[in-house]
Amino acid sequence: MKNVYKRLLSIILLLVLVLTGCGQPATTPAPQEPKPEETPAEQPSGPKYKEEIVIAIADEFTTIDPMETTSESNQLVQACVHTLLTNTNLVTMQNEGFLVESWEMITPDHWRFKLKEGIKFHDGTILNVDDVLFTFERGKDKSTTSAYIAKFKEVKKIDDLSFEVFLHNGDVDFNYVFAADSLAILSKEAFETMPEEEAVKIGTGAWKFEEFQSADYVSLVRFEDCTLYEVPNTKRLVFRMIPEASSRMIALENGEVDAIMSPSATDYSRLSESSDLKLITVTGRGQHFIGFNLANKNSIVSNPEFRKAVAYAVNKEEMVIAAWDGYAQVSTSIMCRDMEYYADIDGIPYDPDKAKTMFEELGAVGMTVKMITSDAAHRVKMAENFQAQMAKYNITVDVEFVQQAALIERLQTPNNSEEMFVLSWTPGKNADYMFRNPIHSKGGRSFYSNINDPEIDALIDAAASEIDREKRAKMYEDLQIILTTEVINWIPVAQATLTMGAHKDVEGILLHPALVHQFRTIERIIE
């Protein structure tokens, strides 16, 4: 009974409290703390980034296959999308691991490599040794990779992350071979499950393909699941083709693009003195040269004395001013100055009197020789300046300007009838790469001059396998002297400065001396 009274008393008290509250004046209810799910989102602090960055380039995009890349434009895109096993450090200029974690030279012809763990491709698969072996196998018949693959005697899988390479001839710097841009590692599974034209797009880089219009543009989007690099702040990176240097500069000034590759030398001061723009530079590892096709026996260029006379006739200082407005260093060796084993040789000096005498003795006065080159601004100026210089000796140079892809195709054609050409070679890796690829008869790009000399082949092979650094240096010095002063397949002209124009607030651009430019951190702050 007591319990019943207690319950009744409680009910009465509750009614009293309610009625009392209803009788009070209305008041503003006290603010209540929001529930956790209702907490307003914090406003982002820090800078805001432009979501899309557009870079204007000169050359047409010809391929999305890293093993078919022969132009700077293609290299730019490939370096964003695909990744190499090793790469040259931009500060130390030493080789370092990219996809590989470590390597070991067991003997000069026996190497062991270990991949980094957990590297993700754009298709979601994880990098393993099978991808590496697949890439090597695919590269056997590619002109850009065959020279490297030809060095392999056997590639052996140890486990999912480790593999060994056995070489036909020893190479004490073999790790540099894997820094060749054409040896970017591809996804084996992608090629097994996709059409080839789609599979070649799959890489491990910070950017992945979105759209490809060869004569217009390539658009890339950031790879959100990238495990190799930090995800960029920029969402989209677009490379837009604008062939004319003046048009690229106008597009930059008008704000149509955020950056331009290869501005004209005449615009360097405009960029560096502008309050809104900037000039980005790095000493390049590109050797610009005048080349000869030694295989054309029907031409006077097959005569080494004629090639030597031309070398005496070329005023390189004048050509550097004409083509780069002085933003280049005159070259005397076919190797670049910052490369290991570079020899400071004299080469063949400018001597117009010597050249005149030799041309007269050869009966070359009044002759016409043909030259081919691309329509890139500096090559056009090199060729035109060469024309003017040779005219002083009453020798006509008939120059044909074509697009880069057509130039390479012409020079690659077996037994082609080309006589002379203006070109460049970027040996960004090591000395063996420098000589083997364009000069060795089994080199993938031996079409540069078609030397095909067994003695030079033997010297290149011997230098690569020589453990004694001093002896090795002497071999490479001998190669530089022989090629520059005796064979004269190239007349080295200049080692040019690589340049880029950009708006002042564009950051994260890392120009690479060997054209493997890095845009994985590119961004533009807009607020």
- CB-side exposure of 258: number of CA atoms within 13 Å? 22
Measured CA to CA, the distance from residue 176 to residue 430 in angstroms comes to 6
Q: What is the 3-state secondary structure (H, E, C) of 222-241?
A: ECCCCCCCCCCCCCEEEEEE
Looking at the structure, tell me whether residues 338 and 486 fall in a common domain: yes
Examine the domain organization and report whether 273 and 400 are in the same domain.
Answer: no
Tell me, yes or no, whether 63 lies in a domain: yes
Token duo for residue 158: 């140890």
The reply to whether 167 and 264 lie within a common domain is yes
Q: Around Cβ 255, how many Cβ atoms within 10 Å? A: 10
Q: Domain check: are 198 and 262 in the same one? A: yes
Phi and psi at residue 449, in whole multiples of 5°? -145, -5
42 occurs within a structural domain: no
Residue 342 CA: distances (Å) to CA of 20, 180, 473, 476, 500: 99, 20, 8, 8, 27
Q: Give the DSSP letter string of 110-128.
A: EEEEEEPTTPBPTTSPBP-
Asked whether residue 32 is assigned to any structural domain, the reply reads: no
- Residues 72, 138, single domain; the answer is yes
Mean pLDDT by 10 residues, the chain (527 residues): 40 36 38 48 72 91 81 82 83 78 94 97 97 93 76 94 93 85 92 95 94 88 92 94 92 96 86 93 84 94 97 97 88 87 93 98 97 90 97 98 85 87 78 83 71 92 89 95 95 89 92 76 87
Residue 14 lies in a domain: no
Do 474 and 403 share a domain, yes or no? yes
Q: Which domain covers residue 204, as residue numbers?
A: 52-282+498-524
In a domain, 13, yes or no: no
The span from the CA of 363 to the CA of 306, in Å, is 10
Using alpha carbons, select from 181, 176, 197 the residue that is nearest to residue 72: 181
What is the predicted pLDDT for the residue at 394? 98
Is the domain of 423 the same as that of 506? no
- Domain total of the chain: 2
Residue 30 lies in a domain: no
For residues 339 and 94, the answer to whether their CB atoms sit within 8 Å is no
Q: Are residues 404 and 352 in the same domain?
A: yes
In a domain, 375, yes or no: yes
Contact present, 60 and 72 (Cβ < 8 Å): no
Do the beta carbons of residue 233 and residue 522 sit within 8 Å? no
Residue at 504 is within a domain = yes
298 & 347 share domain? yes
Residue type, 304: P
Same domain, 411 and 461: yes
Residue 177 tokens read as 């071979």
- The residue count of the chain comes to 527
CATH number at residue 425: 3.10.105.10
Give me the pLDDT at residue 164, please. 97
- Residue 223, phi then psi, degrees to nearest 5: -90, 100
What is the predicted pLDDT for the residue at 512?
Answer: 76
Same domain, 407 and 361: yes
What is the 3 state secondary structure string of 31-71?
CCCCCHHHCCCCCCCCCCECCEEEEEECCCCCCCCHHHCCC
